[in-house]
Amino acid sequence: MSQKMTCNEVGRFTLHLEINVPINYDLLKSVHSWIYPDVQPVPEVTGPDYFGRLFRIKGKEFPLIIRQNAPGQRLEISTPVEDVAEKEVRLLLERILGLRKIMDSALSKMKRDPKLRQIAGSVKGIRPYVAESFYEALVKSIIQQQISYRSANVVTKKLILGLSNKSVFQGLDLYDFPSPVKIANCGVDGLGKFGIGYRTKYVHSLSSLVASGDLDLESLQDKSFSENLQVLGSIHGIGEWTIKAALIAGFGDLTVFPYGDLGIQNVMGALYNKGVRMTKAQVIEKSDEWGKEGPSILYLLMSAYVLELI
**Segment 190-216, tens digit of pLDDT:** 999 999 999 999 999 999 999 999 999
- Interhelix angle 180-192/149-163, nearest 10 degrees: 110
Q: Above 60 in pLDDT, residue 29?
A: yes
Give exposure, 187-208, as e/b (b: 16+ Cβ within 10 Å).
Answer: eeeebeebbbeebbebbbbbbb
- State what percent of residues in the chain have pLDDT above 70: 95
Q: What is the pLDDT of residue 12?
A: 53
Mean pLDDT within 232-258? 96
Mean pLDDT within 254-262? 96
Q: What is the pLDDT of residue 8?
A: 46
Count how many Cα atoms sit within 13 Å of the Cα of residue 301 in the half-sphere of its side chain.
Answer: 30
Q: Above 70 in pLDDT, residue 10?
A: no
CA-only gyration radius of the chain, Å? 19
Q: What is the pLDDT of residue 11?
A: 38
Torsion angle (degrees, nearest 10) of CA 66, 69, 71, 74: -60
201 neighbors 191 (Cβ within 8 angstroms):
no
Question: Which domains, and CATH codes, for the chain?
Answer: 2-101 (3.30.310.20), 102-127+257-310 (no CATH), 134-246 (1.10.340.30)
Long-range contacts of 84-87 (CB under 8 A, 24+ apart): 84/15, 84/57, 84/60, 86/1, 86/3, 86/15, 86/17
If you average pLDDT over every residue of the chain, what do you get?
93
Mean pLDDT within 90-105? 95
